[in-house]
Amino acid sequence: MDESRFRKEVADWMAAHLSGRFACLKHRGGPGDEEAWPALRKEWEQELAGGGWVGLGWPQEHGGRELPLSLQMVFHEEYVRAGGPGRIGHIGETLLAPTLIALGTPELQRRFLPGIREGREYWAQGYSEPGAGSDLAAITTRCWQDEDGNWRLQGQKVWTSLAHESDWIFVVARSTPGSVGREGLSFLLVPLRQPGIEIHPIRQMTGEAEFNSVFFDGAVTAADCIVGKPGEGWKVAMALLGFERGVSTLGQQMHFSHELQLLVDVARANGAARDPALRQRIAAAWIGLQGLRDNGLRMLEEDGGATAVRAEALIYKYAWSNWHRELGQLAMDVIGVAGDVRAADDAGSDALRRLQQVFFFSRADTIYAGTNEIQLNIIAERGLGMPRG
């Protein structure tokens, strides 16, 4: 398909559908703003699915369109350019679904992929735990099989994005008693709406509560709701993290581009753009974003397989999180004293409110999903072959 024609197709569809009752969703629901109209955003997920915009890169045998990477990138670019809202379904579509396609049984694929593709079932990620920090191998949540073969879970997950809006959660839990580190883990698919599971919101300094603690107290899932074999949870978890650095990273960068443009607009409006030091920092931010994009294209130009993470991908989280944190600080410096008062949630204060959210939320960017220190260790050990410290 011709790229320019496809770009027009996406832009025209977005203009026609992100309107009417969906118009209020434009540029809403991103990081730090995920409490914005969740019910309506779920309807938007189904609207996208009806237009054939979910699972663009999935194989056709699994209901996808099997589009080449270049066209998937075009979709992400035009989606953000049109103001497409943050995706409640992104964890299922971009993380779990590729993992099931690569490593799941045909039965699991038939059971779960249609609900994700059609915007009917939403997923949360059960990795992080209290006391484990960025060390995923330090998992203490336990799972075991009853006599009927069903799995039960005991433990706690934390910083679980959108668990309160999700139907299912994939959980890495320790299935071999006495095991430590990466051994003895299993990757389970668990329904969230059941006795034995409690979801407690975590209020952030943004004022939002998109994160949660999830407590498992004898929660149950079916015997076949496991990806891979018992004890292969680490392999599956690492494969999923490889997909996390997939084509959706280009969509993330388009969101960053929108935030940078908001900052530039504010700087022009309030006169901050006349400050040579601020102009230089804005230019450096633009250059840094182009570098992120170029590295993202390097990451995606070859398919390393389901369990391989290319060296280019190892630096990505460290690079974007530091860039974004600096953008948040730059935003507050551009806003000046007006940023000391929380902006109202109205159209007249939209740019100011959004940039304040960028500042507050980006404080956590270098902590969640692996702290800066952990990321540097990964780069040193896996990318450069240096000995463990």
Residues acting as catalytic residues: 244
Tokens standing for residue 261: 């443009």
Q: How many CA atoms lie within 13 A of 84 on its CB side?
A: 27
Number of H helices, E strands in the chain: 13, 8
- The 3-state secondary structure of 35-72 reads CCCHHHHHHHHHHHHHCCCCCCCCCHHHCCCCCCHHHH
Can you tell me the distance from the alpha carbon of 191 to that of 186, in angstroms, rounded to the nearest whole number?
16
Answer whether 320's CB lies under 8 Å from 288's CB.
no
Residue type, 255: H
Residues 6+ apart with CB under 8 A from 181: 137, 138
Can you tell me the distance from the alpha carbon of 11 to that of 246, in angstroms, rounded to the nearest whole number?
22
Residue 56 has phi, psi (to 5 degrees) of: -60, -35
Can you tell me the distance from the alpha carbon of 33 to that of 204, in angstroms, rounded to the nearest whole number?
11
First to last CA, the chain: 50
266: nearest Cα among 205, 362, 333, 340: 333
List C-alpha distances in Å: 320 to 178, 217, 283, 285, 315. 37, 37, 16, 11, 9
Q: How many CA atoms lie within 13 A of 195 on its CB side?
A: 0
Can you tell me the distance from the alpha carbon of 370 to that of 241, in angstroms, rounded to the nearest whole number?
11
